[in-house]
Each structure stands twice: as C-alpha cells, then as structure tokens.
Amino acid sequence: MILARDGRRVALVTGGGRRIGAAISRKLSRAGYFVVLTYRAARSEAESLAGEIGGMARSLDLARPETFTRMARLLEKECGRLDLLVHNAAVFPRTPVESLSPRAWDSVFAVNLRGPFLLTRRLLPLLRRRPGGAVLFVGDAGAGRLWPSYLPYCLSKLALEGQAQAWERILSPEIRVGIVRPGLALIPPGFPEETWERLRSRGGPKGPDSPEKVAEAVLRFARRGGYNDFSHSP
C-alpha cells in the first residue's frame, strides 16, 4: 500500500484535476498529503496533474452512485486510509427557467447535492479509521443571488450548505466538517464574460476570489484552522 511506504495522510478531491480542483490538489500535495483526485471527463488533465504532484487520478461519476463502492475499494486497497474528503466537483450548466426540463434539473442535483451525500456516507468507514478525519464542502458565496439562468445550480449549492451543517451535527466531534464558500474565484464555462467582469468590478460576493485563495482556505481547514468550519457550532 502507498501509505505503508511513506506514511502520508490521504486526501480525496472530487473534480481535482482542473480549475479550482487542481489548485486544491496542488496545495494539499505541497502540504504533505497524498492526493487522490477524481475526474469524470477530463482524464488527460487529471492524469497529468497526478503525475506532476505524485498523486493518483481515478474516474468517478457523482451522478452514478454505483461508482462509489469502486472508489471506496480503491482507497482501501491502495491507501488503507482516508483523512480528508474535499467535495469540489460540481456542474454549472446554463438552465434558463423558461426552458428548464425535469431532466436538466435532476442532473444538476444528482451531481451537486445527492452525489456528495452518498459519497460521504460510503466513505465513512475509511474516514473513521484514524483520528482526525475531515470532510469539506465547496459551496458558493453567490448562490443566494438565485440567478434565473442558473437556478438549479444556485439552489443545489444552497442545499449543499445545509447538507454540510447536517453532517457536522451527525459526525462531530469524531469527524470534522466544514464548508468553503468561494466568491468570484473563476469564471464558469459559458458564463457571459461581460457580466462576470461587471460583477468583479463591483466586488462580488465575499469569499476567496481566486483558485489559489480557495485552495489556501481548504488547507487552513485541513490544518484545523477552521475556515468556515462549523465544528464548534451549537
């Protein structure tokens, strides 16, 4: 097993091969974690980054819960432990209210909300194996603006924050749970550039405003610094 050789802590970063996820993977690797980063379609990017940081890239589809058992078995076999689970992966499709279909609605919630819940539940035995296990969710500081063309995304992220709080109540103090709420950190694919720049010029929602700052917030939580950590909530 990998950790039998080097003793490093293990972090699983969903969607960890590109964009903000790549920044998180690099930051955790530099901090001493062995990073298992997942991808759904961007295999080449994920494998390239895993090679760069000495980690491991594996396929995971959050819309298909049947893939979670395979991931759990992989972590068990190759690593023997899991210290940090970072729920970074999400979809952000443009879904105007007027043309929003039930299928489009369900596909967003399957990845952004249902997937993190079921994956967390499936990986609890590994997270409990050693003291200090932690789960961190990546929310969105701007979700409360409820953009009409991205309503399923916004609602899924608001619900994700509630899910994180629920997990904290269920798992604390055995496993720490927290959430990072990025601001305008990175323009989503297909988002109007003019609108994005206008939002940034106005300051935008408060939160880490670059991939590097999001990654720093993740690392602070991992080190028990508690960025948006509810581990001391009533």
* CATH number, residue 172: 3.40.50.720
- Cβ 36 vs Cβ 86: under 8 Å: no
How far are the Cα atoms of 107, 136, 149, 208, 232 from residue 229, in angstroms, in the given order?
A: 28, 9, 30, 15, 8
pLDDT at 132 over 50: yes
pLDDT band at 3 (very low <50, low <70, confident <90, very high): very low
Closest by CA position to 33, among listed 13, 3, 10: 10
Distance from chain centroid for Cα 81: 19
Residue 234 resides in a domain: no
Residue 233 resides in a domain: no
pTM for this prediction:
0.90
Counting every residue written for the chain, the total comes to: 234
Residue 77 resides in a domain: yes
Residue 108 resides in a domain: yes
Percent of the chain past pLDDT 70, that is, above it, reads: 94
pLDDT at 2 over 50: no
- Segments forming the whole domain that contains residue 100: 2-222
Residue 227 resides in a domain: no
Residue 117 resides in a domain: yes
Domain tally for the chain? 1
Mean pLDDT, the chain, as a whole number?
90
pLDDT at 108 over 90: yes
Mean pLDDT, residues 66-90:
96
Report the range of poorest mean pLDDT among 45-49, 73-77, 87-91, 182-186: 182-186
